[in-house]
Amino acid sequence: MFTALLENSVSSHYVAYERALAEGAIAFSDLVFLARRGEIPHALFFAPLPVVQAQISAKADKLLAGLTKPTFSINSRDKVDLRDVELIVKDLLRKQELVKVHDASLTKNRIIGLLGKPGKSVEADADKLMRALGVTHEAMRSAANRDAALAYLITRLEANQILVSQSSSPVMPQRLQVKFSGMTVKDNKVPYVFLRGGDPGDNQEPGGRRIFTLTLLAVLVARRIFAPVTYDGSSVGQDIVREHDIVGEILIPAEHLRGQRIASLDDVKALSDQFKVTASAMTVRAMRLNIFGGDIAKIYLDTLAQEYARQAKPTLRSPLLVNAIRKYNGREFSVRMLAALESGKLSPRDFCRSVCLNHIKPSQIDEFRAALH
């Protein structure tokens, strides 16, 4: 009973769980602690086994309603299990239902399945998705920096009813203890994409890499794939699939790259600044377009990895609570739910509970509203 309820939940990461398995006993206070962390009613531990099994099955069905399969790995050496992301998935599913209940203006999402059937070419698929999203190469390249380019992409996704959540440790319902870059969560009207990175002390997703990841998540939505994904933008193996080439064409179009002078790593870095991607992603893209071979690409990637390892990593400050909530919720979801609050569909207390996970009080709603501008 104990392991059935806890081993496939976030609670299995806690010392109290491991200690209980080793000792064959657990203090009631520890049991309640683990149950709360896993969002499991502690009374369920004393229910008949068939009841417990039915509840576990119901939980899995609910989670998998937003995902493609129970264990995920897209071109990744790292396995992502459902328990590694379950509380975040449950929260994003709740948010999807909440916004659908309170916003009658939502329509069926036209991006989902847009690329369900491969087009005549990668270039055709990339162009089709960009036109649907309203994304242009010119806007991406003219962005002031990578952060501005990322903000532009988020705006275009949210303008097409794709909600964007970014990890923010102070307010997320679950600390992430697995390596992955992001995930897509299913819904016919408001699919959510969750973008990893940007937490204090987390330097694994620099701006250019997050742009690549977010674009990949958009492509997955268009391909009707809903799952966590890990991708580092520097793979030179044969496991790079069509989705990654579509991302490459969106961010670094072949016609814009061919004819460019790429005779050194410095040339690669200069181009990566132009296209708002990482130098590693630019290296792989140039290799895929046969501008140089895999041997040169490996030298460049190894050098870039060594350079990054030597860089002094900045100490990131924890954001203001209202900014952390805005980042995790996404601006579009937050704006739509504020409209529900202002129209009387939600009370201030319900807004703080269901939208902000009780991280703020009703007296702080105006501060949260100001953070969205």
C-alpha closest to that of 276 among 134, 148, 118: 148
Residues forming a β-bridge with 183: 194, 228
Residues forming a β-bridge with 194: 165, 183
pLDDT class of 201 with cuts at 50, 70, 90: very low
Two tokens, residue 100: 């659908």
Average model confidence (pLDDT) across the chain: 87
pLDDT class of 370 with cuts at 50, 70, 90: very high
Helical packing angle, 321-329 and 331-342, nearest 10°: 100
**Residue-wise over 40-70: b if at least 16 C-beta within 10 A, else e?**
beeeebeeeeeebeebbeebeeebeebbeee
What residues contact residue 162 under an 8 Å CB cut-off, 6+ apart?
A: 109, 111, 190, 191, 192, 193, 218, 221
Cα distance between residue 310 and residue 197, in whole Å: 20
Q: Is the pLDDT of residue 257 over 80?
A: yes
Average pLDDT over residues 40-54: 87
Share of the chain above pLDDT 90, in %: 60
Q: Is the pLDDT of residue 199 over 70?
A: no
Average pLDDT over residues 118-131: 96
pLDDT of residue 66: 60
pLDDT of residue 164: 98
The DSSP output letter for 13 is: G
Q: How many angstroms separate the most distant Cα atoms in the chain? A: 70
pTM as predicted: 0.83
Q: Supply angle C-alpha 335, 168, 104, rounded to 5.
A: 25
**The residue type at 89:** V
Helix (H) or strand (E) holding 194: strand 192-195
Q: Is the pLDDT of residue 231 over 80?
A: no
By the 8 A CB rule, do 193 and 182 touch? Answer: yes
Two tokens, residue 139: 């806007």
Cα distance between residue 79 and residue 70, in whole Å: 11
Residues forming a β-bridge with 163: 192
C-alpha closest to that of 125 among 221, 212, 245, 211: 245
Two tokens, residue 257: 């790259």
Residue with tokens 């902000």: 356
Cα distance between residue 160 and residue 166, in whole Å: 17
Instruction: Name which residue leads in pLDDT, 201 or 232.
Output: 232
What residues contact residue 84 under an 8 Å CB cut-off, 6+ apart?
A: 10, 176, 177, 178, 180, 228
**The residue type at 36:** R
Average pLDDT over residues 24-43: 89
By the 8 A CB rule, do 123 and 249 touch? Answer: yes
By the 8 A CB rule, do 190 and 96 touch? Answer: yes
Of 7-16, 96-105, 316-325, 350-359, the poorest mean pLDDT is in: 7-16
